[in-house]
Amino acid sequence: MSERNEDMFGYAEFGAWYDTYRTDALEPALDRAMTALERELDDALPERDLTRIRNISGRVKSKRRTWRKVTQPGYRLQIPTVEDIPRVVDDLVGIRLTCTNLRDLEMVQVVLESLPLHASPRRPLGLDPASERDYVDAPKESGYRGWHVNLEVQHDGVPVICELQVRTLLQDSWGELTHEDTYSKSGELPPLVEVLSARMADLLATLDDIAEDLRNELDRIDEAIVAETAGQVDAEPDADALATGPGADAADLLLQRWRLTDRPLELSSLAWALQHEFGAEVSDDWFGFRTFKRFLRAAVPDAEISSGRQVYLMPPGAADGDQSPNSDPDNAASAVPDEARRLRRIDSSFPLVETARWRRIYDHLAEGWRRTGTANPSKRVVNQLTRSARDRSRTTGDPLSRRHLDLVAKTVLASSESGEPLDADQIGEAFAVAVLQRMTDLRVVSVDDAAGRARVGRWLLG
């Protein structure tokens, strides 16, 4: 690589600019972006999910690697002066987030979807959806897998772009084992290295799939732990269980969490917290109360437990629909009602998308269901419908999120008694009914709030 590009600026001019810009803008922007990202995740995710984010690290692109990039043929004509470098090169600041498995990667994606398009004093991070590069569904030829997107952070009122890479542990291990980041992107690797790297990537991707299946089964076990059966509640609890010992300490922990929360708490997450603190064996008899719900009712007698498939401990003093809204004036998705934003604060996986996108989800799922025929609510059927709908949406040039398709498909199939294919309007109606019922169960909107329910209905159905 030549040390000087005669068509533009030389290395000396570039080096002087880089040293100043790194100190004045890039390093402060990296610190601000990482702090803001960690805060967004802390605010959106329960403790159990936060433990699945294993590492967040950042770096400023080195002087030598930046020079190599700006002097590549694809960049030369776009960068006539050194001041144009930040406009063209979007990875001067890089952040890498490593999580446990594919479900956790999607969990991070869902959290980031709520970011505004541009950073502001109120929301220090912005997200550019057009910059998304999904190398999980479409791996690079080398075998690299990961999810990339550009974040914007402001420093002294000037936007700075940061590239975020989200990888699973196994995807990150592939990068470390192959030294993927150390090779020139334009360089040629020996054929054997390329073959072995691709083989290893495929094997690790298979392990990631197995890890996701394991995660799903563990989640099912977590949900079963907080369920009650008739046989479990026959015996009377130990009257002294809350007086002293571990049971009293566990009750204090639950009581404090309940008093401090301003949003419903998922019971499986609370049970996990007790197991994490006191050991997995506490679930054998829950301190003499036989079930977690009985122990919870004794520990927090004034609290209310919601109904529905996902069970929550309701916050203290919350009346129907009185949870403070989480509206974001900087978010371009202004059509999203406050009721939906409040549900998002409870369930970080609930999507906030525009009405037109809901309609496209219903349309593509209806066509997929028509082709599939009568379908019972199984994981295989959901995957089949989701894959068909996503493939069809890709042909239109505006692909739909698998997460969003999964949510609608699972919700509607669970409420479909016959399993007969539904058209787009029927899918939308069934989904809207289920969402409104969930909002009612969680006191996001009351049965008597006709205006709020109408807003949600218009948002979901148009």
User: 298 Cβ partners below 8 Å, 6+ apart?
Assistant: 237, 241, 242, 251, 289
pLDDT at 197: 87
Q: What confidence category does residue 133 fall into, taking pLDDT thresholds of 50, 70 and 90?
A: very high
Q: What is the mean pLDDT of residues 388-395?
A: 83
Both 131 and 47 in one domain: the answer is yes
DSSP class per residue in 244-298: SHHHHHHHHHHHHHHHH-SS-EEHHHHHHHHHHHH-GGGGGTTTTTSSHHHHHHH
pLDDT at 241: 66
Q: Which of 159, 180, 201 is the last residue of a domain?
A: 201
The token pair at 426 is 């029927």
Whole domain around residue 384: which residue ranges? 338-461
Both 17 and 131 in one domain: the answer is yes
Span 73-108, pLDDT tens digits: 888 889 999 999 999 999 999 999 999 999 899 889
Q: What is the mean pLDDT of residues 314-319?
A: 71
Query: Percent helix, strand and coil across the chain, each rounded to 5?
Result: 55, 10, 35
Q: What confidence category does residue 324 fall into, taking pLDDT thresholds of 50, 70 and 90?
A: very low
Q: Which of 267, 298, 313 is the last residue of a domain?
A: 313
Q: What is the mean pLDDT of residues 159-185?
A: 84
Residue 267 lies in a domain: yes
The percent of residues above 70 in pLDDT, for the chain, comes to 89
Residue 208 lies in a domain: no
| Structural domain count, the chain | 3
pLDDT exceeds 90 at position 453: yes
Q: Which of 155, 186, 201 is the last residue of a domain?
A: 201
The percent of residues above 90 in pLDDT, for the chain, comes to 39
d(CA 401, CA 424): 17
Residue 266 lies in a domain: yes
pLDDT at 336: 86
Q: Compute the radius of gyration of the chain from its Cα atoms.
A: 25
297 burial (CB, 10 Å; 0-12 / 13-18 / 19+) is middle
Residue 388 lies in a domain: yes
Both 84 and 162 in one domain: the answer is yes
Longest dimension (CA), the chain: 86
Both 27 and 167 in one domain: the answer is yes
Eight-class DSSP state of 283 = G
pLDDT exceeds 90 at position 153: yes
Residue 66 lies in a domain: yes
330 burial (CB, 10 Å; 0-12 / 13-18 / 19+) is middle
d(CA 113, CA 352): 8
pLDDT at 182: 54
Eight-class DSSP state of 305 = B
- The pTM of the whole model exceeds 0.85: no
Q: What confidence category does residue 5 fall into, taking pLDDT thresholds of 50, 70 and 90?
A: very low
Both 346 and 272 in one domain: the answer is no
Contact at 8 Å (CB) between 458 and 432? no
Span 328-359, pLDDT tens digits: 444 434 478 989 988 887 887 788 888 988 99
CA 323 centroid distance within chain? 23
Closest Cα to residue 392, out of 371, 411, 377, 378? Answer: 371
Span 239-264, pLDDT tens digits: 566 777 888 999 999 998 888 887 88
pLDDT at 285: 86
- CATH of residue 82's domain is 3.30.460.10
The token pair at 167 is 């990888």
Residue 61 identity (one-letter amino acid): K
Both 122 and 70 in one domain: the answer is yes
